[in-house]
Chains A and B, each alone.
Chain A
Amino acid sequence: MSGNPYLFAAYAVTWIIHIAYLGTIVKRYARLQREIEELKKAGGRS
């Protein structure tokens, strides 16, 4: 049982890395959606 903190750390770090990467994908997607909206507005004006 002495390995438990290490086990917890390894599993926690794995999911932190995955969730952080998924967060960057969501952030990039949101930025692209904003850009698409701006392009649509610019297209509507011209």
Chain B
Amino acid sequence: MKRAFPILGVLTAILLSYALYEALVGAPTEQTMGEVQRIFYYHVPSAWTAFSLFFINFIASTQYLARSSPSKDRFASYAAVGVGLVVFAAAFFIPLPAGMRPSAVATTGLLITGLYFLIRSLFSQPDTDVLALVSAEVGVVFCAIVLVTGPIWARPVWGIWWAPGDIRLTSTLVLWLIYVSYLVLRRFSSSGQTPTLAAALAVLGALCVPFVYFSIWFFRTQHPQPVMGGGGSIDPRMLHVLLINWLAFSCFAFLVCWSRYRLENLQRDVDQAHALESLLDPGGSVR
């Protein structure tokens, strides 16, 4: 495992460099927007990565709450299977909004159940709390990039930095603020109940993620239509570059989460050692 990190780090650096080259040179120039359209190769993969991390945060937080008792754990496992099946079935039996592909919805259903049981098998209950914290923190960084690169693209294309009242833009900002408040809660609350309160906030906050994602289907918005699983279309060469950038940013996010996960565990060990030291130290405040 010690060798895996630097090897993955080098591979990710190569992949990021290649993805950057493809985004700036390899991808064809869009006819209407010109060069500025290339912002899309950083904006969209950052958004997908942020959503994925918030989704992991949701599942980890749910498990932290559910695994406090065997009955809740059983109920949550059945719920994960049930939700996955309902979403999968809905893709084929319920009329979807125009442009929404049934295969994309069905895959989401399978992903919900699959990821739930993957995290359940890999992480203990206390570790799910660490995973939730780490995924929220890295997710906030990626979401911040989405919120900054979006207006930089909008200024030359729309003529304005921000469309006030636009549902996609506003809901993304609200989503970011929810996760920032989650991190603030975790940073400044010293109560023993903090992980439970934070997990409850994360579960409620995660409800905002599908709202943000699907808002362009259900509301009138200036934001362009999605290029995958939706009504938008894209040149195959542009799609290739987009997917390479997504893969590169996903690998980068995985590595950052990994190092942050190790750091958080180390921090908890040091905190425990400090607590033990203050108990053993005869001159300390706790006796």
Contacts and interface: CB of A to CB of B under 8 A. Distances in A.
Interface of A: 1-4, 6-7, 9-11, 13-14, 17-18, 21-22, 25, 28-29, 32, 35-36, 39, 42-43, 46
Interface string B141-164: 100110011001101100000000
A6 B270 contact: no
B39 A7 contact: yes
A10 B273 contact: no
Given A25-B259, A25-B260, A39-B277, A3 B267 contact: no
Contacts of B34: 1-3
Question: Which 3 A-B pairs have CB atoms at the shortest separation, nearest pair first?
Answer: A3-B36, A10-B39, A10-B152
Interface of B: 20, 24, 33-39, 42-43, 46, 138, 141, 144-145, 148-149, 152-153, 155-156, 252, 256, 259-260, 263, 266-267, 270, 273-274, 277, 280-281
A39 B34 CA distance: 58
Contacts of B42: 10-11, 14
A36 B153 contact: no
B270 A14 contact: no
A43 B281 CA distance: 10
Interface majority SS on A: helix, strand, loop or mixed? Answer: helix
Contact of A14 (B37, B149, B260): B149
B156 A2 contact: yes
B145 A14 contact: yes
Given A17-B144, A29-B266, 14 more contacts: A1-B35, A2-B156, A3-B33, A7-B39, A9-B152, A11-B20, A14-B148, A17-B148, A18-B141, A25-B260, A28-B263, A32-B267, A36-B266, A36-B270
Contact of B35 (A4, A13, A46): A4
B189 to A, nearest CB: 19
A6 B153 contact: yes
A14, A18, A21, most chain B CB atoms within 10 A: A14
Contact of A13 (B152, B256, B280): B152
